[in-house]
Structure 1
Amino acid sequence: MQSVSGRATSVQSRLPSRESWIDTAKGWGILLVVLGHALRGLQNAQLLPTTGWSHALDAWIYSFHMPLFFLLSGFFMEKAVHKPLDRALKDRAKTLLWPYLVWSVLQTLVQIRMSSYTTAQYDWMHLLGILWKPVMQFWFLYVLLLLSLLWLGLRRIGVPAPVLLLAALVLHLTQNGTGVWAMWDLVCIHGVWFAAGAVLGIMPQLIEKMRLASPSLRWTGILSGFALTSWGAMMQPDNLLHSNILWAVPGVLASLWLAMSLPADWSVTRGLGWIGRLSLEIYLVHTLASATMRAILLHGFKSHDVTLHLVLASLAGIMIPVALVLIGRRLQLRHVFRFGTVA
Structure 2
Amino acid sequence: MSRDVSFDIAKGFAIICVVLGHSEALGVPADLARAIFTFHMPLFFIVSGYFTKRDAVLDRAYVVRCARSMFLPYAITCAIVLLLFAIRTLLIWPEGLVDVMSTSTLAALYGTGTQEPPLPEGVTQIGAIWFLLALFWGKLFLAAANRAPHTPIVVLILFLWGYYSGWMFWLPLSIQAGACATLFLYFGQRIRECDLLAPSVLSLPLWLVAVGVWLMCINMGYKLVMASNAYPGDMLVDVIGGLCGTLCVIKAAQIISRHLPVLGRSLAWLGTVTLPIFCMHLVELDVFLWENALEFLSALPVPLWASGLALRVALIAVMCVILYFLPRPISGVFFRSRIAGTGEGRTRA
1:285 is the counterpart of 2:280: yes
Q: 1:98 to 1:66 in 2, by over 3 A?
A: same
Give the deviation of 1:162 after TM superposition. 3.3
The 5 Å alignment of 1:9-48 reads 19-39=4-24, 41-42=25-26
Map of 1:316 onto structure 2: 314
Q: 1:307 to 1:113 in 2, by over 3 A?
A: same
Map of 1:195 onto structure 2: 186
Aligned partners of 1:138, 1:235: CA distance in 2, in Å?
Answer: 19
Map of 1:229 onto structure 2: 217
Stretches of structure 1 that go unaligned for 5 or more consecutive residues are 1-16, 43-47
Q: Would you say the 8 A contact 1:221–1:254 is kept in 2?
A: no
Q: Would you say the 8 A contact 1:289–1:313 is kept in 2?
A: no
Map of 2:252 onto structure 1: 258
Root-mean-square deviation over aligned CA pairs: 3.7
Please give the secondary structure, in 1, of the residue aligned with 2:110.
coil
Q: TM-score w.r.t. structure 2 length?
A: 0.72
Aligned partners of 2:315, 2:209: CA distance in 1, in Å?
Answer: 30
Aligned residues: percent identity?
Answer: 19
Q: 1:160 to 1:340 in 2, by over 3 A?
A: farther
Q: 1:309 to 1:177 in 2, by over 3 A?
A: farther
Aligned partners of 1:133, 1:61: CA distance in 2, in Å?
Answer: 23
Q: TM-score w.r.t. structure 1 length?
A: 0.73
Q: Would you say the 8 A contact 2:177–2:229 is kept in 1?
A: no
Aligned partners of 1:272, 1:228: CA distance in 2, in Å?
Answer: 26
Amino acid at match of 1:312: A
Q: 1:130 to 1:159 in 2, by over 3 A?
A: farther
Please give the secondary structure, in 1, of the residue aligned with 2:111.
coil
The 5 Å alignment of 1:1-343 reads 19-39=4-24, 41-42=25-26, 54-78=29-53, 81=56, 85-114=59-88, 122-134=100-112, 135-155=126-146, 157-159=147-149, 161-171=151-161, 174=164, 177-181=167-171, 183-203=174-194, 205-209=195-199, 220=208, 224-234=212-222, 241-243=230-232, 244-247=235-238, 248-249=241-242, 250-264=244-258, 265-289=260-284, 292=288, 294=290, 297-298=293-294, 303=299, 305-316=303-314, 319-324=317-322, 327-328=324-325, 333-336=328-331, 338=333, 342=338
Q: 1:311 to 1:221 in 2, by over 3 A?
A: farther
Q: 1:272 to 1:22 in 2, by over 3 A?
A: same
Map of 2:116 onto structure 1: none
Please give the secondary structure, in 1, of the residue aligned with 2:39.
helix
Stretches of structure 2 that go unaligned for 5 or more consecutive residues are 94-98, 113-125, 340-349
Give the deviation of 1:122 after TM superposition. 4.2
Give the deviation of 1:301 after TM superposition. 6.7
Give the deviation of 1:37 after TM superposition. 1.8
Q: Deviations over 1:32-56 (max 9, x none)?
A: 11111233x54xxxxx5xxxx7221
Greater RCO (CA < 8 Å, at least 6 residues apart): 1
Please give the secondary structure, in 2, of the residue aligned with 1:251.
helix
